[in-house]
Amino acid sequence: MAQTYFATIEPGLEAALLAEVRSLGGKRASALKGGVEFDATNTAFYSGAMHARCANRLWLRVDEFRARDAPELYNKTARIDWLRLLPPNARVEVRATVRESRLIHTGRIADSVQKALAQAIGEPAVRGQPFTVLARVVDDRCQLSLDASGELLYRRGWKEDVGGAPLRESVAACLLRVAGWEPGTPLYDPMCGSGTFVIEAAQQTAGIAAGASRDHAFHRWANFRPDLWAEVAREAASTAPSVLHFGSDLDEVAVERARHNAERAQVADRCDFRVLHVTDVVPPIERRGLVITNPPWNRRIADPEHNAIADFLAATRGRFDGWTIACVAPRTYAVPQGLSKAAAFEVGGIGVRLLLGSSAPPDSRE
């Protein structure tokens, strides 16, 4: 039987997540602000949790009902068959949000749901990893969701060394989709920093499932099927051919950091990192692909003599004939001729967008 889930992502990247959810078997999928809602059977959901690369978190939609006061919220929450999902005496943390409703205090909403859960599954044990329930009340309607992920999904487990402004792995996966990159296609990041784009591409090309070694929260649900999860894990195993992806950076420390991250990600043999200034880059391979970067736009951007984005565009246009080029830039940055705005989102609270186009020099365009 299919159930309804919600996958989250940074606002502005919903279209990429929607495409991924559909490709992984999600049904009736629709993009909402900050994520994608979809239906899935256990098999489809397990497969999605195994292979999802764009999502930050997965939620199970447990129930939705009208609740105009605390007693009504308590009674309708307590009547749900929580033992179908949670083990007896489970520890549960309740988070609450509210908007345009008679119930106006998030603390009272969370307390009512917490007490109803204790009534349904018993008083929580002192120890044990907690589950998370989200109570979202809008216009007197309460939607209860159960966290299926646990740790945030963008934390792949390999990024121990990071630079000053790293992209989340999930954002990198979304931007690769937006740019039209496909696994096995060459990729080069000439300002690679900690190597996020390169390593994400290498893992996808290698067929390494993002959730293969993850301890998901739904693994501790009462209705979890370890046999089905093991079957999905076996099917996820891949022996994809080795294809190199490339990264370079002027900072020797950054390059060494990227190499260490690639080792932890089990793709060191599929990544080629070198110390090189962006103005000296050339295509690392004859086959054409994607050259993409997240330059240090948060500093020196106002100095035309040391503009990282301008340096990137000057180095790639003309030299990377036939390659697709993509660059993360602040929304205030004027879009250069020949490039277009492909996605708009936020990094660290700063509005940015992905600029996308061809590497052909602007004077060659009609």
Contact 89, 117 (CB under 8 A): no
H or E segment at 344?
strand 339-347
Q: Phi first, then psi: what are they for 268, rounded to 5°?
A: -60, -35
Q: Give the integer Cα–Cα distance in Å for 217 and 297.
A: 37
Helix, coil or strand: residue 145: strand
Q: Residues 56, 62, 65, 67: is their CA dihedral positive or negative?
A: negative
CA–CA distance from 60 to each of 7, 63, 282 (Å)? 9, 9, 47
Q: Quote the pTM value.
A: 0.90
* Confidence at residue 85, expressed as pLDDT on a 0 to 100 scale: 96
Q: Phi first, then psi: what are they for 325, rounded to 5°?
A: -120, 145
Each residue's pLDDT tens digit, 207-241: 999 998 889 999 999 999 999 999 999 888 766 66
* Confidence at residue 216, expressed as pLDDT on a 0 to 100 scale: 96
Per-residue DSSP letter, 133? E
SS (H, E, C) 24-93: CCCEEEEEECCEEEEEECHHHHHHHHHHCCCCCEEEEEEEEEECCCHHHHHHHHHCCCHHHCCCCCCCEE
Helix, coil or strand: residue 136: strand
Question: In which residue ranges of the chain is CATH 3.40.50.150 found?
Answer: 169-210+242-364
* Confidence at residue 288, expressed as pLDDT on a 0 to 100 scale: 93
CATH class assigned to 169-210+242-364:
alpha beta
Report strand pairing: 245-249 vs 271-275. Answer: parallel
Question: In which residue ranges of the chain is CATH 3.30.2130.30 found?
Answer: 3-147
* Confidence at residue 126, expressed as pLDDT on a 0 to 100 scale: 64
* Confidence at residue 302, expressed as pLDDT on a 0 to 100 scale: 46
Q: Which residues of the chain fall short of a pLDDT of 50? A: 300-305, 362, 364-366
* Confidence at residue 364, expressed as pLDDT on a 0 to 100 scale: 45
Q: What share of the chain is helix, strand, coil (3-state, %, to 5)?
A: 30, 25, 40
- CATH number of this structure's domain 3-147, picked from the four choices 3.90.1150.10, 3.20.20.140, 3.30.2130.30, 3.20.20.60: 3.30.2130.30
